[in-house]
Amino acid sequence: MALNKKTIEDIQVSGKKVLVRCDFNVPLDENKNITDETRINAALPTIKYLLDNGAAVILCSHLGRPKGEFNMKYSLAPVAKRLSEKLGFEVKLAKDVVGPDAKKLAAEVKPGEAVLLENVRFMPEEEKNDPAFAKELASMAEIYVSDAFGTVHRAHASTAGVAAYLPAVAGFLIGKELNFLGNAVENPQRPFVAILGGAKVKDKIGVINNLLDKVDTLLIGGGMSYTFSKARGGAIGDSMLDEERLGLALELIKKAEDKGVKMLFPVDNVIARSSDMGGKTVCEAGKIPDGYEGFDIGPKTIELFSEEIKKAKTIVWNGPMGLFEKPDFAVGTKAIAEAMANSEAVTIIGGGDSAAAVTQMGLASKMSHISTGGGASLEFLEGKTLPGVAALNDK
């Protein structure tokens, strides 16, 4: 995928109306209070740059899954309120997306001001990438800025369609994602180590396949490691297993051998009869007795993986090492996060649960980059074309 895309710094924005696709899909509690502002904060550098450089800013985003209907449970009103507080002026919220109120606010917005359109997914045409709807959205502005990395793997009207009608460039957030993830995958400093965990093999097949052409070492942990263990003839007790992909696991092991990639698996596991009963113990990998389930990597694996992390110059991590939501089984994930935090390497966390774990453990500031897109960063690491990136103008 060509990553050499124009950003907001490559174009003149002064006096222009700029439509910005943000990712304001924030979690809300039952009283509509925002419980995590990470995504709003991530959008601020792009918004402030545009305002400071004399652009009139029209913001748009989705929130939740309203399924193409005006459902006020998913209104962006809480986001407009919080943005107003953070920017120090009122960010007016349109009552619609491309209707009379949106058009009126877009027409009235002045340089140095910002307005917010209502949830783009209130319109069924958004997820269908309907050209007429994309054209309506585009008609309110003179420039399109894409800054919602979490949605660029979807070809929707506001993420890809509008780029057919306006000059289209990346905001700072997408620029940073392309820079870090792109360099890691296409031009890494070596040794390049990838750490993959999480529950399901099927979610990571494409990633493993693509990374085997790029990395020097691949560390496999988490729930999916038990399928590899079983494929290699190990006993995994009642651990998570993807029966259908045992053959594929062997093919991937063979591919790593053929390419000279060091593929490492857990050598010991933390096991228990269930995740709730306590009574955890450590056993050698591939020797888990019946009635027991593996929930984390063991101390010898932590040591083995940490040694590889120490040698690395570039590290990409996607997927926890165990059931990190439970303190009993969070030790492996925490140890890997700490090893990365103490590393001199370029450290990239590929979104999703790994990002949540690192943030929860207070180690986010120690990483070079934490991707804001779970699905998007996975597809990026798989080498897939991301429609919302492909649609942007090349430098």
**CB count in 10 Å sphere of residue 203:** 17
* Best CA proximity match to 174, nearest among 206, 190, 207, 152: 152
Helix (H/G/I), strand (E/B), else coil: 256: helix
Contact 234, 225 (CB under 8 A): no
Q: List residues with catalytic annotation.
A: 39, 200, 352, 375
Helix (H/G/I), strand (E/B), else coil: 295: strand
Give, for 178, the enclosing helix (H) or strand (E): helix 172-186
Contact 173, 42 (CB under 8 A): yes
Sorted by sequence, the CB contacts under 8 Å of residue 327 that are 6+ apart come out as none
- Cα 147 to chain centroid, rounded: 13
- Gap between the Cα atoms of 297 and 162, Å rounded: 46
- Gap between the Cα atoms of 18 and 11, Å rounded: 11
The tokens for 161 are 């369609």
Class of residue 315 by CB neighbours under 10 A (exposed 0-12, middle 13-18, buried 19+): buried
- Gap between the Cα atoms of 181 and 186, Å rounded: 8
